[in-house]
Amino acid sequence: MEHRVTTTIPADLPLQEPVQAERIRRRARSVRTRDAEDRGILGIADRRRTGVRTGSTVINVLLGAALVVTGLLPLLWLAKSAITPTQDTLMMPLRLFPNGVAWSNLERAWNDVHIQNFFWNTIVMAAGSWAVQMVVATTAGYALAVLRPAYGRVLTGLVLATLFVPAVVLLVPLYLTVLHPPLIGHSLINTFWAVWLPAGASAFNVLLVMRFFESLPREVFEAARTDGAGTFRLFWSVVLPMSKPILGVVSIFAINAAWADFLWPNLVLTDIAIQPLSVRLPQIQSSTDLGVYLASLTIATVIPVAIFLVFQRTFLSGAGLGGAVKG
């Protein structure tokens, strides 16, 4: 379950500012020279001193080595072991293919474990959670920040209040709700809705989108209204197109949270047919040959790592932004 303990969002913090600041900074980067912009703790004078220069080179090399050992090597080991015979991994885990390569591990992860099914379930789970979160956050943000009904403040307060409740408080009653949902009459357990719908109740998303909508120029809304745009047109053709940056941020948070979640899906998706990777992989560890098991873990890792490497800029600025927003 996603940690909702982001204890404070200072009420007066204009949340859209990091987005704009980043855009301005990026523009500035292309104009100004790197040196002028990159000034950190070490200044030009510091970097000219030979002691500092060798010192910083040594630290850079050590830092790089540490990052390779901690960040890269575990994943390379996983990839290597995915195509190593089980006995070799058990007896000499750090030797490089002492007895040849076992491509069959990957084959069996695909054909016997059916890892692709669980991959697909993960995608469906994340996509649905994303869609529900987007619908709830944008419609609620629009109603509360643009349409502003008289009772809006009360609702905003109620949403804000849930931000201070740790997710664990919801665990049991939410489980019972999903077991016996109101009105529908049958349990949501073992349906994706059990994950999608609770994911939508993210106060963080609603407040983030609300803040952004509040910062949009109201004159544009008035102009659109004068031109005859109704409430729905205003939402779909004016507000949403103006809000792409914040929708991107919410999307990253939403997909990331859904992808990483374990506790809740593990509880409500007990049917193997719809389990995502995070739920299925722990269950196969005891019953699967180690080589095949590691091949399964590798397949589950390769695709997100590839996506990350392609879109690293977006990911890293998004992650930094997360900090800026939370701060």
Partner 1 sequence: MTTAASRTPRRTPLTWVRRGGLSTLVFLLPMLIVFGVFSWTPIVESVVMSFQHTNLVTTPEFVGWANFAAVLADPTFWIAVRNTAYFAVLALIFGYPLPLIAAVLLSETRRMRGVYSVLAYLPVIILPVVAVLLWKVFYDASPNGVFNTILGWFGIPPQPWIQDATTAMPSLVLQATWAGAGATVIIYLAALRSVPPELYDAAEVDGASIWQKVWHVTLPQLRGILFITLILQITATAQVFLQPFLFTGGGPNNATTTILLLIYQYAFQNSLGGAYGKATALSLMLAVFLAVLSIVYFRITRRWSTE
Closest CA relative to residue 83, chosen from 321, 327, 292, 303? 292
**Could you count the other beta carbons within 10 Å of the beta carbon of residue 167?**
15
Binding mask 64-93 for partner 1 (x = CB under 8 A): x--xx-xxx-xx-xx-----------xxxx
Binding mask 248-267 for partner 1 (x = CB under 8 A): -----------xx-xx---x
Count of residues that interact with partner 1, criterion CB under 8 A: 107
And the tokens for 196? Answer: 């999608």
DSSP three-state, residue 79 = helix
Alpha helices in the chain (DSSP H): 17-31, 34-37, 44-48, 50-67, 73-82, 86-91, 104-111, 115-142, 152-162, 167-179, 193-200, 203-215, 218-226, 231-233, 240-242, 244-260, 263-268, 277-284, 290-310, 312-326
Interaction between residue 6 and partner 1 (CB under 8 A): yes
| Choice between 95 and 244, CB closer to partner 1 | 95
Could you tell me the smallest distance in angstroms from the CB atom of residue 236 to partner 1? Answer: 11
Interaction between residue 308 and partner 1 (CB under 8 A): yes
Interaction between residue 58 and partner 1 (CB under 8 A): no
| Choice between 108 and 275, CB closer to partner 1 | 275
Could you tell me the smallest distance in angstroms from the CB atom of residue 20 to partner 1? Answer: 13
Interaction between residue 247 and partner 1 (CB under 8 A): no
Q: Is 91 exposed, middle or buried (0-12, 13-18, 19+ CB in 10 A)?
A: exposed
| Choice between 100 and 230, CB closer to partner 1 | 230
Interaction between residue 132 and partner 1 (CB under 8 A): yes
| Choice between 70 and 273, CB closer to partner 1 | 70
**Could you count the other beta carbons within 10 Å of the beta carbon of residue 80?**
19
Contact 189, 179 (CB under 8 A): yes
Interaction between residue 98 and partner 1 (CB under 8 A): no
And the tokens for 191? Answer: 């349906």
Tell whether the torsion through CA atoms of 276, 279, 282 and 286 is positive or negative. negative
Touching partner 1, residues 168-227 (CB under 8 A): 168-177, 181-182, 197-198, 200-201, 203, 206
Q: Can you tell me which of 14, 43, 98, 100 binds partner 1, judged by CB under 8 A?
A: 43
DSSP three-state, residue 55 = helix
Could you tell me the smallest distance in angstroms from the CB atom of residue 189 to partner 1? Answer: 12
Q: Which stretch binds partner 1 (CB under 8 A): 123-131, 216-224, 245-253, 279-287?
A: 279-287
Closest CA relative to residue 194, chosen from 141, 130, 129? 129
Could you tell me the smallest distance in angstroms from the CB atom of residue 45 to partner 1? Answer: 7
Interaction between residue 166 and partner 1 (CB under 8 A): yes
Could you tell me the smallest distance in angstroms from the CB atom of residue 107 to partner 1? Answer: 20
